[in-house]
Amino acid sequence: MTGSILTPLKEMMHGISSGLLAPTIAVLLLFVAFMVIELGSLLVEALTERRKVKINVPVLLDVFQEKNAGEIMEEINKSHLFRRQKAALSELIKHRDLPAASHQALARRLLAGEELYYAKITNRTDLVARLGPMLGLMATLIPLGPGLIALGQGDTRTLADSLLTAFDATVTGLAAAGIAFAISRLRKRWYEDYLSSLEALMEGLLEVFARERRLEE
């Protein structure tokens, strides 16, 4: 009685797992293609954004202390700051007439926006780094069932095809995950440095404008 109940359930489960093989392999191939695109994007980002240029934050902060808003803006535009950093600082300078509390709130909002922007970029490769091994394991285990059945029947050709599919899926999933992990680590190191520099520069600007308000009073 139990066997008769389990038989259709087993068949249903086998049908589901067999049906998942093709979509899983397709997603793994998409991951590989996506990683090729991300590698190209990483190279363009490294070259166009001049990632190796070191921004001397203390020097810029000293410059801010001695100049007015217009001169500070000129120094920012002439500096080696990245485009998004310049845009955020420009927005802060543009609204320098806000009350101190509102100005600080704006600085926090601009910084949070930059953090969110960079988090979205790294989340893409983080997702591939997590899902790649899982899908690779799925595509490894699914063909092993028919392979074991073929082994019991003496069908070595089907067994070899199943094992080849399983090994290829494992390698593909791990390769995509490994590349994604490396890209994420590199970008996170870059972005943490950018955000810390931006935060220091924003705090310097807030101090300059707060001192100007006190002098005007």
H/E stretch holding 3 reads helix 2-48
CA atoms within 13 A on the CB side of 48: 8
Q: Average pLDDT for residues 133-141, to the nearest whole number? A: 90
| Residue scoring higher pLDDT (175 or 96) | 175
What are the pLDDT digits (tens) for 143-162?
Answer: 887 777 777 777 778 878 88
Task: With a cut of 60, say whether residue 2 has pLDDT above it.
Answer: no
Percentage above 70 pLDDT, the chain: 94
pLDDT at 42 over 80: yes
pTM of the model: 0.83
**First-residue to last-residue Cα distance in the chain:** 91
Per-residue pLDDT band for 54 (boundaries 50, 70, 90) equals low
pLDDT of residue 53: 56
pLDDT at residue 144, rounded to an integer: 81
pLDDT of residue 217: 59
Which pLDDT tens digit goes with each residue over 61-93? Answer: 887 887 787 888 888 888 888 888 889 999 998
114 contacts: CB under 8 Å, gap ≥ 6? 84, 88, 194, 195, 198
The residues, any chain, with a CB within 8 Å of residue 91's CB and separated by 6 or more, are 106, 110
Using alpha carbons, select from 6, 10, 4, 30 the residue that is nearest to residue 135: 30
- For 172-202, how does the pLDDT look when each residue is reduced to its tens digit (9 = 90+)? 999 999 999 999 999 999 999 889 989 999 9
Nearest of 128, 160, 113, 151 to residue 27 by alpha carbon: 128
